[in-house]
Chain A
Amino acid sequence: NAGVTQTPKFQVLKTGQSMTLQCAQDMNHEYMSWYRQDPGMGLRLIHYSVGAGITDQGEVPNGYNVSRSTTEDFPLRLLSAAPSQTSVYFCASSYGTDDSPLHFGNGTRLTVT
């Protein structure tokens, strides 16, 4: 059982470049989300999805796009990377109901120079 799989683990981008962070889960979870983790700020919600074809913004959505074409996959796109997007990104999923804890991937460490 793979759980939540994120790729890549590390990435370095130049300002203005674009890239997609991949997230896949094999638990048939309806709810998927992206967080960024910055020192002293905990985890902040970027975007989330409650099912295929449905996405919504979280606390810090600017500069990021998402889509949810399948239940399993929830990619996060940076269209034009900025140094302020240097962070560790976590994907998480759950059944989205009470008593359904979030399952996290191992994270992607992104550096934008």
Chain B
Amino acid sequence: GDSVTQMEGPVTLSEEAFLTINCTYTATGYPSLFWYVQYPGEGLQLLLKATKADDKGSNKGFEATYRKETTSFHLEKGSVQVSDSAVYFCALETLSGGYNKLIFGAGTRLAVHP
């Protein structure tokens, strides 16, 4: 079945460092892909999305490109801040029973230190 695999965390970086969180997926067809972020004590929030191959989603300095050939959707940011410390989830949207559902990866915790 459809699945999402993320790199294991935690990822620990210094402020202004470059961030990459890897995400690969297995799916039939061409699903929409998402990154969600969860700040401490809160629910998940949509960070960015891409709906077709070669699309680039971007938001708040984060970017991810939908790579069909490598079935990947890696999250990147050029210069992280302490406020980016959170858990990041990669997800794909699958059609099941006539409705769209999200399948999530295990999540990657990011800790950014001053």
The reply to whether A106 and B42 contact each other, CB–CB distance below 8 Å, is: yes
State the Cβ distance, A31 to closest chain B Cβ, in Å: 7
**How far, in whole Å, are A102 and B43 apart by their CA atoms in the complex?**
11
8 CB < 8 A contacts A-B: A42-B107, A45-B101, A50-B99, A90-B43, A92-B43, A104-B43, A104-B44, A106-B42
Contact among A42, A48, A96, A104 for B105, CB-based, below 8 A: A42
Interface presence of A53 (CB below 8 A): no
The reply to whether A107 and B107 contact each other, CB–CB distance below 8 Å, is: no
The reply to whether B107 and A102 contact each other, CB–CB distance below 8 Å, is: no
**Interfacial residues, chain A to chain B (CB-CB below 8 A):** 4, 31, 33, 35, 40-45, 48, 50, 56, 58, 90, 92, 96-98, 101-102, 104-107
- Chain B: interface size category: 20 to 34
Main secondary structure, interface of A, reads strand
**How far, in whole Å, are A97 and B93 apart by their CA atoms in the complex?**
11
Contacts of B49 in A (CB 8 A): 101
Contacts of A42 in B (CB 8 A): 4, 89, 104-107
Contact among B41, B42, B46, B107 for A101, CB-based, below 8 A: B46
